[in-house]
Amino acid sequence: MQRRLPAKPERLEREVDRLSRENEKLRQELIERDKKIAELDKEIGKLERKLGLRRQNSTTSSKPPSSDGLAGEQRKRGSRRKKSRRKPGGQPGHRGHWRGLAPLSRVDRVIEVFPSKCRHCESRLSPKMSTQGEARQHQVTELPPVEADITEYRCQCIVCPECGKATQAEVPADAQGHFGPQLTALIAYLTVVCRMPRRVVREVLQQVLGIPLSLGSIQNSWEEASEAVAEPCAALERQLPHEPVVNSDETGYRTSGEKRWMWAPAATNFVFYKIAASRGAEVLVQLPGEVFAGILCSDRCASYLKYHKGEGRFCRAHFKRNILGVQEMGKTSDAERFCRDALALYARLFRLWHRFRAGPGVRWGPITREQLIEKSIPLEKFFALADRYLESCDRHVANLALALLQHFERFSAFLRHEGVEPTNNVAERALRCAV
């Protein structure tokens, strides 16, 4: 019996070719689709990054609290911990704190108060009757009547008996102006430190002290005070390069509507303010000098790194905010684990610092600097943590790890040097009047 050959082999070959072409087409479409998905994922990552940066506030970045407006995520107030079941106020066994009494030398007058009738039987009582125990003291502090003290100088004119010509007396040198040093200092304090507008200062002086002043007079008093403190300010500027420790920070500042920067290098006993047109390292060259021999403490701004190559200290509070920012924006497991471990080490570090700084009343007892250094040795896990995540696929985590490795000595300088704090809060407080 003869075998039957397959019918129409050419048709089967064409079908195979068609299926092969369709398969290749689908494969190309799949490649294009995967490429588009990768591009869209990259775009989504960029948008999430922009949204995260926009939602940052002063707790997750170096922004000042004054910038926490409607555009960003509102700053969480109060503690981050779980709400306690305890009632508000002092707890049982807590030692109370109240306003102390002023010494007797500061008391202007004493008024004796006697009861008029007995609290028990309602009999009439007299101040001449015998008393028992010490009197209960209660002090009331009040402002005295506030009014301006005006001194009038009458410059007399005397006729000389020899030549018959008249000579009029000159106003004393310390009374050349129309306002005394106390009033001039008050005007300077209200305008500079309190940053009150000239019109508000005028209203305060007129309504509280009864002193009518014009805006021009207030400006003249302000300029007079500025000239009076010019030499002391110059002396402090000359002293700044010789200070052992300087905390420095800067903030945006507007003068007559133009953008400026206010710098506030804070030494141990004084703060020197300077308004400059730049935020660059050239301003630091003018302040502590071309080379600063002391310890410069800052918030890791690039200007300080460019200027100071010697020993310094970086603010751990600013770096903690960077960690919180990565934790809030991070979508990777590396970001979650790195931020969790770093924040735990931060909590241990600041507990030790508070025990060192707070004194005898601190919980768990105070510690010395030697004990602080000894107990802080395990906190070098910061270094190991940074080394572990240096090659992280999350670039934000890798950047934080690199900063820890590169500047580990600056982050831990407060452990070794007297007068060095772990944060830059000294300079930040000095700038609050401008912020």
CB 403 within 8 A of CB 412: no
**Over residues 262-282, mean pLDDT:** 91
pLDDT band (50, 70, 90) for residue 246: very high
pTM of the model: 0.68
DSSP 74-116: PPPPS-SSPPPSSPSSPPTTPPP--PPPPPGGG---------S
Helix/strand/coil percent split, the chain, to 5: 45, 10, 45
Summarised one tens digit per residue, pLDDT across range 40-54 is: 888 887 787 777 767
Closest CA to 288 of 339, 329, 236: 236
Q: Lay out the sheet containing 245-247: strands in order across.
A: 245-247, 295-298, 312-314
- To the nearest whole number, what is the mean pLDDT of the chain? 85
Spell out the residues 6+ positions from residue 81 whose beta carbon is closer than 8 angstroms to its own: none
* Range from 27-41, 67-81, 163-177, 290-304 carrying the lowest mean pLDDT: 67-81
pLDDT for res 110: 93
How many whole angstroms separate alpha carbon 379 and alpha carbon 352?
11
pLDDT at 361: 57
Nearest alpha-carbon partner for 274 in 261, 292, 291: 261
Q: Residue 186: its pLDDT value, please?
A: 93
Percent of the chain with pLDDT over 70: 91
Residue 3 has pLDDT above 60, yes or no: no
What DSSP assignment string belongs to 382-404? HHHHHHHTTT-SSHHHHHHHHHH
